[in-house]
Amino acid sequence: MIRGYHFLIMEEYEKIRQEESNALLERKRWAEQNMPRVVDIEKKIARLSLELAMLNFKQKDNREETFERLKSEIIELRGEKMEALVERGLSPDYLSIQHRCSKCLDTGYVGASKCNCYKQKLVNLYYKNSDFNDMIKKYSFKDFRLDLYSNSSSEDPSPRKNIESILESVYNYIQNFEKTEENLLFYGNPGVGKTFLSTCMAGELLNKGWFVVYRTSDSLIQNLKDIKFNDNDELMDVLMNCDLLIIDDLGTELTTEFAKVELFNFINTKLLRKKKMLISTNLTIDNLKSKYQERIFSRLMGDFTLYKFSGDDLRIKINAEKRRALG
């Protein structure tokens, strides 16, 4: 996947521009039938504007004067045109080309950089038909169930207190997402809500217009292979430059020599470029230490804020609830 997305997005812009130019033609045709006076004014404005432009190439004694005269005539005609349109209940720019994005004028670029609307198109294209799209719909903050976390004082803090404090940090993270350079590491037993919470965050950030990419660590390794052996630059661009990369289930990937080296290089480059990551893992800190080389481990400990999830397996609790409801 994700090959040729740039081409597809550029095609979409081309289509938008074509649609808008057709719509303008339609409006002009209508105006010719129904507002001939305005069409006359437009023609006059066009003629005067051309004259004005040609002034630069002509040697004339009274150039300044002619320039001023033409300019004020054009301004007056424009005013007259707008008045006529507004009188008819139309927008003053009814007979001008419309842009759906006023920043990039539907080109996708502002200068040499990609416009925000390009990113939005990329997100839509990227998440079209993806499983993650279904996950985001299913897992949202409003469905987050604090009651599944025990209040028992046998642990300090209790799983409930613990998750409440994690939720608060996560809210703040989302609120300050633009400014923060923080990376997050969620760890804890399976089934304590790490993936659920990462997905809630992804949904929230995507809604705010950020480009979040979700990968299991295994699919990330597959992607890194694809990049290395097939020169898939577009894929690298997505993984490297997205606003947040979620790496789920770190530790479940096959730890080949390739995986270890590439994973380290990748994470390291992202850290150097200050590209945010959220990693979740079922491994304990000790497991992480023994599974990964010192250099990966020390990046994870030094450059990520650690959140330890606690509690019983929520999936078991939910299933038990379902059984009770059925029984």
CB of 18 vs Zn ion, minimal distance in Å? 17
SS3 84: helix
- Return the residue of 31, 115, 221, 247 that touches Zn ion, per CB under 5 A: 115
Q: Which is nearer to Zn ion, 55 or 105 (CB)?
A: 105
Query: E strand or H helix at 213, and its extent?
Result: strand 212-216
Which conformational region is residue 311 in: left (phi greater than 0), alpha (psi within -120 to 50 degrees), or beta? Answer: left
Using the rule CB under 5 A, give the single segment among 16-24, 91-99, 115-123, 223-231 that binds Zn ion.
115-123
Q: Which is nearer to Zn ion, 116 or 165 (CB)?
A: 116
Residue 103 makes contact with Zn ion by CB under 5 A: yes
Site size toward Zn ion, by CB under 5 A: 5
Is the Cα dihedral 142, 145, 151, 155 positive or negative? Answer: negative
CB of 133 vs Zn ion, minimal distance in Å? 23
The contact pattern for Zn ion, residues 58-97, with x = CB under 5 A and - = no contact, is ----------------------------------------
β partners of residue 214: 246
Q: Which is nearer to Zn ion, 117 or 235 (CB)?
A: 117
Q: What is the secondary structure of 131-179 as a DSSP string?
A: HHHHHHHH--GGG--GGGS---TTSSS-HHHHHHHHHHHHHHHHHTTTT
Using the rule CB under 5 A, give the single segment among 71-79, 103-111, 119-127, 162-170 that binds Zn ion.
103-111
First and final C-alpha spacing in the chain: 45
Return d(Cα 211, Cα 120) in angstroms, integer. Answer: 8
Residue 122 makes contact with Zn ion by CB under 5 A: no
Using the rule CB under 5 A, give the single segment among 112-120, 210-218, 296-304, 315-323 that binds Zn ion.
112-120
CB of 100 vs Zn ion, minimal distance in Å? 8
Residue 101 makes contact with Zn ion by CB under 5 A: yes
Q: Which is nearer to Zn ion, 120 or 241 (CB)?
A: 120
Residue 104 makes contact with Zn ion by CB under 5 A: yes
254 neighbors 287 (Cβ within 8 angstroms): no
Q: Which is nearer to Zn ion, 12 or 312 (CB)?
A: 12
Q: Which is nearer to Zn ion, 47 or 103 (CB)?
A: 103
Residue 105 makes contact with Zn ion by CB under 5 A: no
Return d(Cα 176, Cα 169) in angstroms, integer. Answer: 10
Token pair for 54: 């040609």
Q: Which residues, at least 6 apart from 16, have a Cβ–Cβ distance to it below 8 Å?
A: 100, 106
What is the CA 216 to chain-centroid distance, rounded?
Answer: 19
Q: Which is nearer to Zn ion, 118 or 126 (CB)?
A: 118
Return d(Cα 184, Cα 71) in angstroms, integer. Answer: 59
Q: Which is nearer to Zn ion, 74 or 104 (CB)?
A: 104
Residue 117 makes contact with Zn ion by CB under 5 A: yes
Would you tell me which residues interact with Zn ion (CB under 5 A)?
101, 103-104, 115, 117
